[in-house]
Amino acid sequence: MKSLKVILAVAFAVVGISAMAQEINYDDPKYAVWGENANERRDNMLNNQFLKEAVDNKNYSAASKYLGILLTKCPAASQNIYTNGAKLYKAMINKAEDEDGKKVYIDSLMYLYDVRLKAFETHKKYGKDYILNRKAREFYSYFPDDREGIRNIFQQAVEASNEMKGKYDLELVSIYFAELCADYQNDILPAEELIAAYDKYSPAFDGVEEEADIDLKNQFDSAFGQSGAASCENLEALFSKMLGDIPDDEALLSQAVSLMSRANCNSDFFFATAEKFYEVKPSSETALFLAQGFQAREEFDKAMKYLSEALAAEQDAAEKEKLYVRIGLISVQTKNYAEAVKAANEIKAINPENGYAYFLLGQCYAASANCSELKCQACYWAAFDVMNKAVDLLAAEPSIQESAKKLAASFRSAFPTKEECFFNELQAGAAYTVKHGYANGVNTTVRFR
User: Which pLDDT does position 19 carry in this prediction?
Assistant: 47
Is the predicted pLDDT of residue 115 greater than 90, yes or no? yes
Query: With bands split at pLDDT 50, 70 and 90, how would you rate the model's confidence at 139?
Result: very high
Asked if the structure places residue 202 within a domain, the reply is: no
- Helix/strand/coil for 367: helix
Q: What is the sign of the dihedral through the CA atoms of 398, 404, 410 and 416?
A: negative
Residue 134's Cβ-count burial label (10 Å; 0-12, 13-18, 19+) is: middle
User: In Å, how far are 275, 283, 347, 403, 420 from 424, measured between CA atoms?
Assistant: 56, 54, 35, 32, 6
Is the predicted pLDDT of residue 23 greater than 80, yes or no? no
Is the predicted pLDDT of residue 182 greater than 80, yes or no? yes
Task: Measure the CA–CA gap between 110 and 261, rounded to whole angstroms.
Answer: 42
pLDDT digits (tens, 9 = 90+) for 236-273: 888 888 898 899 999 889 888 888 887 888 899 999 99
Asked if the structure places residue 75 within a domain, the reply is: no
Asked if the structure places residue 371 within a domain, the reply is: yes
More confident call, 319 vs 313: 319
Query: With bands split at pLDDT 50, 70 and 90, how would you rate the model's confidence at 1?
Result: very low
User: Which pLDDT does position 96 carry in this prediction?
Assistant: 92
Asked if the structure places residue 397 within a domain, the reply is: yes
User: Which pLDDT does position 7 carry in this prediction?
Assistant: 46
Asked if the structure places residue 298 within a domain, the reply is: no
Is the predicted pLDDT of residue 223 greater than 60, yes or no? yes
User: Which pLDDT does position 62 carry in this prediction?
Assistant: 96
pLDDT digits (tens, 9 = 90+) for 412-441: 999 999 999 999 999 999 999 999 999 999
Asked if the structure places residue 216 within a domain, the reply is: no
**Is-above-0.85 flag for pTM?**
no
When computed from its CA atoms, the radius of gyration of the chain, rounded to whole angstroms, is 36
Query: With bands split at pLDDT 50, 70 and 90, how would you rate the model's confidence at 4?
Result: very low
Residue 403 belongs to what domain range? 353-449
Helices 355-367 & 398-413 angle (0-180, nearest 10): 30
Give per-residue burial for 348-382: e unless 16+ CB within 10 Å, then b: beebeebbbbbbbbbbbbbbbbeeeebbbbbbbbb
Is the predicted pLDDT of residue 14 greater than 60, yes or no? no
User: Which pLDDT does position 22 carry in this prediction?
Assistant: 55
pLDDT digits (tens, 9 = 90+) for 51-110: 999 999 999 999 999 999 999 999 999 999 999 999 999 999 999 989 999 999 999 999
Closest CA to 443 of 377, 433, 435, 374: 433
pLDDT digits (tens, 9 = 90+) for 287-303: 888 888 898 888 999 99
Give Cβ neighbours of residue 448 (< 8 Å, ≥ 6 apart): 415, 416, 417, 418, 421, 428
Contact 256, 225 (CB under 8 A): no
User: Which pLDDT does position 6 carry in this prediction?
Assistant: 44
Is the predicted pLDDT of residue 136 greater than 50, yes or no? yes
Asked if the structure places residue 242 within a domain, the reply is: no
Contact 260, 273 (CB under 8 A): yes
Tally of domains within the chain: 1
Is the predicted pLDDT of residue 168 greater than 80, yes or no? yes
Asked if the structure places residue 268 within a domain, the reply is: no
User: Which pLDDT does position 87 carry in this prediction?
Assistant: 97
Alpha-carbon torsion, ordered 317, 319, 325, 328, to 10 deg: -80
- Mean pLDDT, rounded, of the chain: 91
